[in-house]
């Protein structure tokens, strides 16, 4: 299944509009996760995990901390290299997993999730977080979805680069 029923051109324009003001990153990510949850079919969780030191200088850089999201209660901290999110952050590449239950080290925050896509977010020359989208449907995400979510992540990255410091 793909997001073919989602008009990604329109969705990208909406994310651009939401992120065009120079707002705090929490505002940008909260509205983006709400918009994605509203517009995407066949998902049960969408949101962001951020590098600890991006959220607060006293937190470790090699740990992801839960950011704004839509869905059930989620894991609050994920070490770099653990689960799909931590692996995507550590490898600095998109992870598209058709069956999360077969992914070694998968962290099951919601047992209803069957597939997942995680896209790294960059700012200031490094990975500062990930966009994480889960689905209760196996093999929910395809190459087209991946390209579309990477486009959305790029728009978010541009907003993070100009976001006011915490």
Mean pLDDT of all residues in 25-37? 95
Domain 8-162, CATH? 3.30.450.40
Bigger pLDDT: 128 or 111?
A: 128
Residue 34 confidence (pLDDT) above 60? yes
A 10 A CB-CB count for 2 gives 15
Reported as a single tens digit per residue, the pLDDT across 44-53 is 999 999 999 9
Count H helices, E strands: the chain?
5, 6
Reported as a single tens digit per residue, the pLDDT across 81-100 is 999 999 999 999 999 999 99
Mean pLDDT of all residues in 97-117? 86
Reported as a single tens digit per residue, the pLDDT across 135-154 is 999 999 999 999 999 999 99
pLDDT score at 11:
92
pLDDT score at 1:
46
Rounded to 10 degrees, the C-alpha dihedral 101/149/38/15 comes to: 150
On whether the pTM is more than 0.75, the answer is: yes
Dist. CA 66–CA 153, nearest whole Å:
17
Dist. CA 156–CA 121, nearest whole Å:
8
pLDDT score at 4:
55
- Following DSSP, what letter does each residue of 45-84 receive, concatenated? EEEEEEEHHHH-TTS-TTEEEEEEEEES---SEEETTSHH
């Amino acid at each position: 299944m793909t997001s073919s029923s989602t008009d990604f051109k329109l969705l990208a324009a909406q994310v651009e509009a939401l992120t065009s003001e120079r707002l705090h990153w929490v505002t940008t990510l909260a509205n983006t996760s709400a918009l994605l949850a509203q517009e995407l079919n066949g998902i049960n969780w969408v949101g962001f995990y951020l590098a600890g030191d991006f959220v607060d200088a006293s937190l470790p850089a090699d740990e992801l901390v839960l950011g704004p999201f839509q869905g059930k209660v989620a894991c609050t901290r994920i070490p770099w290299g653990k689960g799909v999110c931590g692996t995507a952050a550590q490898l600095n590449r998109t992870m598209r997993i058709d069956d999360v239950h077969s992914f070694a080290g998968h962290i099951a925050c919601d047992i209803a999730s069957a597939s997942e896509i995680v896209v790294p977010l960059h700012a200031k020359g490094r990975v500062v977080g990930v966009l994480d989208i889960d689905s209760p449907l196996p093999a929910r995400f395809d190459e087209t979805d991946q390209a579309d979510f990477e486009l959305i992540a790029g728009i978010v990255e541009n907003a993070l680069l100009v976001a006011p410091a915490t």
